[in-house]
């Protein structure tokens, strides 16, 4: 069995309904088949969602999108982030997904993982095949050597990993690694995963 099917089987064993998409266009279609115009919809920060065109479609087609990434004041952004914690559908990606069906994520503020853990009625995770790792050790390694160093560069943060390319468990005020969350066996029906047979996000 290939990795993507192995992960699908493991996620479903952990009660996370999983859909396979051959590319980002199909992933976008699958996501929009799972949401409704009347749903309030929030997202975490995610390059994957943008690469799939999901956030742009939410804006263009006038969904009830709680969009914190628009030009708004810090106070307005904070208000939207709080509203997202009780929205109908939360969309996000995952830093890694293990072969045995666990989602591994590290957050800075914690808003993304708070919404995955509790609040929104439905959570949809969209992830490219590059996010698949063997186990939690490899997930941590991927975070420390790929996701975090690339994310700090993208976000213009002043942390050691931005220059040396790996984690040194820094004490920088700009540190983005503040909450490590492992999402494992769920109660059925809340979290779904769309696994995309393409490399997406970092
Ligand atoms: S803890 Fe600091 S050095 Fe390590 S990955 Fe996070 S931001 Fe980079």
Nearest atom within ligand 1 for CA of residue 168: 3
pLDDT digits (tens, 9 = 90+) for 105-134: 999 999 999 999 999 999 999 999 999 999
Strand order in the sheet with 89-92: 17-21, 191-196, 122-128, 89-92, 40-43, 64-66
Residue 136's pLDDT band (cuts 50, 70, 90): very high
Mean pLDDT of the chain: 97
3-class SS of residue 150: helix
pTM for the model: 0.97
Ligand 1 atom 4, closest CA = 167
| Ligand 1 pocket, residue 167 CB under 6 Å | yes
| Ligand 1 pocket, residue 143 CB under 6 Å | no
| Ligand 1 pocket, residue 168 CB under 6 Å | yes
pLDDT number for residue 86 = 98
Asked if residue 28 has pLDDT above 90, the reply is yes
| Ligand 1 pocket, residue 75 CB under 6 Å | no
3-class SS of residue 193: strand
Paired strand residues for 128? 196
pLDDT digits (tens, 9 = 90+) for 48-62: 999 999 999 999 999
pLDDT number for residue 15 = 98
How much is the average pLDDT of 8-20? 98
Asked if residue 1 has pLDDT above 90, the reply is no
| Ligand 1 pocket, residue 106 CB under 6 Å | no
């Amino acid at each position: 069995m290939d990795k993507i099917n192995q992960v699908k089987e493991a996620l479903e064993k952990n009660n996370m309904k999983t859909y396979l998409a051959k590319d980002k266009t199909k992933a976008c279609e699958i996501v929009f088949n799972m949401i409704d115009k009347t749903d309030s919809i929030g997202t975490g920060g995610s390059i994957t969602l943008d690469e799939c065109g999901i956030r742009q479609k939410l804006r263009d087609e006038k969904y009830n999108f709680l969009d914190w990434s628009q030009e708004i004041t810090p106070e307005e952004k904070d208000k939207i982030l709080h509203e997202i914690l009780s929205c109908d559908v939360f969309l996000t990606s995952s830093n890694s997904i293990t072969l045995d069906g666990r989602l591994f994520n590290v957050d800075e503020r914690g808003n993304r993982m708070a919404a995955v853990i509790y609040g929104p009625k439905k959570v949809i995770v969209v992830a490219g095949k590059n996010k698949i790792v063997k186990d939690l050790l490899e997930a941590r390694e991927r975070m420390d050597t790929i996701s975090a160093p690339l994310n700090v560069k993208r976000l213009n943060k002043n942390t050691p990993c931005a220059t040396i390319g790996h984690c040194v468990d820094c004490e920088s005020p700009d540190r983005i690694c503040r909450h490590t969350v492992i999402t494992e066996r769920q109660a059925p029906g809340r979290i779904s995963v769309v696994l995309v047979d393409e490399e997406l996000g970092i």
